[in-house]
Structure 1
Amino acid sequence: MEVRELRYFVAVAEELHFGRAAERLGIAQPALSRALAGLERRLGVVLLERSSHRVRLTDAGAALLTEARAILAAAEAGELLAEVLDAYAAHPGACAVDLLLCEAHEQRELLCSGRADVALLHLPFDAVAGLDTEALLTEGQVVVLPASAAVDLRRDLVAVPVTDAPPVTTVLAWLPESRSRPVAGLVRVAATA
């Protein structure tokens, strides 16, 4: 299963209309229909019940929608990480980087136990006391609400900034006692990427 297919599926599942989903994705509706039919065939389940007047998620489709949203969110976060790692790989003296995928609540434990050299954490949600950090990205929080018009969201949703919520800052964190040159190099590159 490809990330592209998950994006297609989520668009149709949120719009519950192939034409609107195709417009949202910027692709032709027949290509979207073929891609999702192929996905259903490979998975061996029906994700969407189609009729001439409506599209409805099946139970399998509802389950995939929840997982697909999480996967796509992780993929977007991975784009920031990929940018940092690409910049580091081009840096003289860079060494190979092995990624350790884990649940968000496990990152600090892996770092503190020495099983990871650096971690991506998110302030104010993750505790960084006792760690050294380098801020990579700060974003305001939003709430997604029903609305009559929106950009890059389902047509009936809009992202509204939550002005009294603290911003979320993604940081690269490491143990202050680290004397690793590769970690220092990665932090330097990340600070400028």
Structure 2
Amino acid sequence: METRELRYFIAVAEELHFGKAAQRLGIAQPPLSRAIHQLERRLGAALLERTSRTVTLTEAGSVLLREARAALDAIEAAERRTRRAALTATGHAGVVLATKAGAAGELLAKLLDTYAAEPDAVTVDLLLCGIGEQERVLRDGRADVALLHLPFDSTAGFDTEELRTEGQVVILPARHPLTVRPHVQMAEVTKLPGLPVPRWPGRDGTYPDGPGPQVREHAQLLQLIALGRACWIAPESCRAQLRDDLAAVPVLDAPMVTTVIAWPPHSRSRAVAGLVQAATRL
């Protein structure tokens, strides 16, 4: 299969409309339809169910959509990492570390200080991500290494080292009645009147169903909590960075969160190795 065919198929599979997919790709509809037909013939499988009004994915089409996205991500990652390796070799680039904005602040500061003290340390460029984004930027090559959080982020396909395990707290408006409690249970958090857990966009940019507000970034989330429009369950270490108009209460039965440092197993970057070694020494 060619990357052009994969891009064509992904556009149709996401739009579920040949006309919209052709417009998105900047091509005419007939060559797009022919390309999809040729791909189906070569694979010996129907990828799409077509009627006069609808286009839907078959089971085989769903598999190819998932695999095609991963394949194109891998190609783009290879391009980015190759260019950055060339720049690093000439002293014009450092290592890119992806981390969730507002998370693991104290650990991150110690890591950067520890690594900077190494004699062969290079510049560490921070890529601050929204919730769940750091895994994606590590996979697509925008980052060389990342701080991920289990069980929320997937580490499949990465090499990892565990750095810290901690409990979780619920972030509430500072004057909320629950803030005087020493701890709460998950069942209480999920039933808080007027304070639903926010919804974050998935890979396709759409939001899951639910009563919570739509949130795209950390600062927006904190503002909504302070205004009494949402609550948030987060690792206990986020307490240290809370604003005065917010408070944190431990959630006893929330799953433990393990912070790991992750990197692609095929990485041969000395800078990445040095950063990982500094992290495991902390």
**TM-score, normalised on structure 1?**
0.54
Q: Residue 18 in 1 paired to residue 22 in 2?
A: no
Closer/same/farther in 2, CA of residues 162 and 173 from structure 1, 3 Å limit: same
Q: Residue 144 in 1 paired to residue 133 in 2?
A: no
The Cα offsets for residues 42-67 of structure 1, whole Å up to 9 and x where unpaired, read as: 11111111222111111100111112
CA distance in structure 2 between the aligned counterparts of 1:12 and 1:19, rounded to whole angstroms: 9
Count of matched residue positions in the alignment of Structure 1 and Structure 2: 140
Closer/same/farther in 2, CA of residues 175 and 13 from structure 1, 3 Å limit: same
2:273 maps to what in 1? 174
Closer/same/farther in 2, CA of residues 136 and 120 from structure 1, 3 Å limit: closer
Contact 1:133–1:174 (Cα < 8 Å) also in 2: no
Q: What are the equivalent positions in structure 2 for 1:67-78 lying under 5 Å apart?
A: 67-78=67-78
1:35 maps to what in 2? 35
Contact 2:99–2:126 (Cα < 8 Å) also in 1: no
Contact 2:49–2:58 (Cα < 8 Å) also in 1: yes
Contact 2:98–2:128 (Cα < 8 Å) also in 1: no
The Cα offsets for residues 150-183 of structure 1, whole Å up to 9 and x where unpaired, read as: xxx97x84896322599xxx9950248xxxxxxx
CA distance in structure 1 between the aligned counterparts of 2:78 and 2:126, rounded to whole angstroms: 13
Percent identity (aligned)? 45
CA distance in structure 2 between the aligned counterparts of 1:74 and 1:139, rounded to whole angstroms: 21
CA distance in structure 2 between the aligned counterparts of 1:173 and 1:133, rounded to whole angstroms: 10
CA distance in structure 1 between the aligned counterparts of 2:77 and 2:128, rounded to whole angstroms: 12
Question: CA shift at 1:27, angstroms?
Answer: 1.4
Closer/same/farther in 2, CA of residues 136 and 73 from structure 1, 3 Å limit: farther
The secondary structure found in structure 2 opposite 1:144 is: coil
Question: CA shift at 1:79, angstroms?
Answer: 3.0
CA distance in structure 1 between the aligned counterparts of 2:122 and 2:86, rounded to whole angstroms: 20
Over the residues paired in the alignment, what is the CA RMSD in angstroms? 4.2
The secondary structure found in structure 1 opposite 2:201 is: strand
2:216 maps to what in 1? 161
Closer/same/farther in 2, CA of residues 52 and 62 from structure 1, 3 Å limit: same
- In structure 1, list runs of 5 or more residues that go unmatched: 92-118, 146-152, 177-193
Closer/same/farther in 2, CA of residues 30 and 73 from structure 1, 3 Å limit: same
Contact 1:144–1:157 (Cα < 8 Å) also in 2: yes
Closer/same/farther in 2, CA of residues 62 and 44 from structure 1, 3 Å limit: same
